[in-house]
Structure 1
């Protein structure tokens, strides 16, 4: 096996190579004046499993090099080509919300499935699509962040109370709470725009003496997490610890969360970010070993779901 770092993926590639006990190399890119990109693989891949590594935040700039690298690896004799993308892009547009919209989660799935043999990711945003096998036709494995988040909580927060900022976060919050042996609840959210969000407590349930822990799978603009933080502080429930699996937010958002009352802001290292505190590489490497050995079946996508028809 050889690991090839996609743009921005060098830290992940190095960590995977250590766990897999193999070599790694950065994908060489050259940007031409006309806007095209040249791709070169410097590692010897003939007869090897070529493992492309890199998160797919900012996916439009990263996807073409990924596809070119996958094709080049196969042409250079790789026995199979896999992808470790801890953050998998284009999962939130999983239905046609307005007439004429592209259902990009399915389009992106077809694009990657045509070039790769297997895919490893961390907690993709699954809502109306309930598993990657519904839209991806290659072997996939989802690595859950919940066990590692629960382990972090057990080591750093004496009596946590898990809180999800909206109904969609319930699946992650419930799982982490169960593993951490903590109570949990979710807030009710009203979204009026991309940066206009309101939240409220869904019940009168309180857990005095416990530390509130706000948990969500993705924090992007941070408006929902910020509104939830302010709500908890105003209600006298304490300064929350804010945790996300995928940190898509910038330094300004992190500053606003801390100024809004959060005691700490942290994330898994699925996307390189100053808030990274929970390391995923060992579990990702374990999934790679299983998929590269063919221990997961190749899946066929199902038909269109009712929301798209």
Structure 2
């Protein structure tokens, strides 16, 4: 095959699923740490003239960045025709503005780095706040894969009588999309945040959910304080214990256990980041984005660009 997928970091089975859907070989990449902490990396599958996909989800990114860039450089040296990065979770999107003098705007710095090494970027629902799309900071073509269709399908198949809830205004875009696709009712709450672990959720007048199964949807669960406070609010309102759905399950420290202790009935997540809660497979949608890029890439190369 003219396509090959290499995996540096991904949920179990994602590389195989991506290669299968993308009709690509699964490449072999060897990496290890030297005693001094430096990285050894070797591309063990021929890539000359081939379109290469490097799969690496970028939660807890600092330990992954050096191997990722070494791999991209080695693939280029070995003659890869093109190199796409599939980063289901894209790191360094939150710091998109200098709030104090001297602060690094890391979203811009990181975008420059990845844009230098890769020809195309695919990611799942990045944390866009003060920028509207990735093209504002990334100089290479990119594709955002929405998790909403896969989440909606999962809810329809697994949660009867669901009522979708967004914990804050930022979640409204996902909540409304999922609710419309699944044909279920929804509501969006309000949030105030004073720090990483200092969050308050207010619901105003929550709709009647006596016979409904509440489903809270959020894009990122890191400290999970937003989800924890939302679960507590629903518990006080007398609803059924909610199901929590997360696109990017970072769950730093004890966040996952705290969410369960707060009263969540169940936590499920998209496999954008490997976690025991993974239940929604995003691989087919990632492969679809890669196929569209591959066709466009062939056309550009055929036209002599």
With normalisation by structure 2, the TM-score equals 0.92
Equivalent of 1:240, from 228, 239, 242? Answer: 242
TM-superposed CA distance for 1:295, in Å, is: 6.4
Do the aligned residues in 2 keep the contact of 1:123 with 1:217 (CA within 8 Å)? yes
RMSD of aligned residue pairs (Cα, Å):
2.0
Which residue does the alignment assign to 1:103? 105
Cα distance, 1:17–1:204 mapped onto 2, change above 3 Å: closer
TM-superposed CA distance for 1:122, in Å, is: 0.6
Do the aligned residues in 2 keep the contact of 1:9 with 1:53 (CA within 8 Å)? no
TM-superposed CA distance for 1:207, in Å, is: 3.7
Rounded to whole Å, the distance in 2 between the matches of 1:119 and 1:202 is 40
Which residue does the alignment assign to 1:18? 20
Rounded to whole Å, the distance in 1 between the matches of 2:164 and 2:275 is 23
Do the aligned residues in 1 keep the contact of 2:56 with 2:68 (CA within 8 Å)? no
Query: Unaligned 5+ residue runs, structure 1?
Result: 299-309
TM-superposed CA distance for 1:261, in Å, is: 1.5
Kindly indicate whether residue 107 of structure 2 is the aligned counterpart of residue 124 of structure 1: no
Rounded to whole Å, the distance in 2 between the matches of 1:288 and 1:82 is 8
Q: Matches of residues 78-157 of structure 1 in structure 2 within 5 Å?
A: 78-157=80-159
Kindly indicate whether residue 255 of structure 2 is the aligned counterpart of residue 227 of structure 1: no
TM-superposed CA distance for 1:205, in Å, is: 3.4
Deviates more, 1:203-212 or 1:44-53: 203-212
Do the aligned residues in 1 keep the contact of 2:220 with 2:247 (CA within 8 Å)? yes
Moved over 3 A (4+): 7-11, 202-208, 295-298
Do the aligned residues in 2 keep the contact of 1:6 with 1:26 (CA within 8 Å)? no
With normalisation by structure 1, the TM-score equals 0.91
Query: Unaligned 5+ residue runs, structure 2?
Result: 301-305
Equivalent of 2:271, from 266, 269, 272? Answer: 269
**Equivalent residue pairs, number:** 298
Cα deviations by residue, 1:154-210 (Å, 9 ceiling, x for unpaired) = 111222211111111111111111111122222211223211211110334334422
Do the aligned residues in 2 keep the contact of 1:9 with 1:54 (CA within 8 Å)? no
Rounded to whole Å, the distance in 2 between the matches of 1:112 and 1:51 is 14
Rounded to whole Å, the distance in 2 between the matches of 1:17 and 1:73 is 17
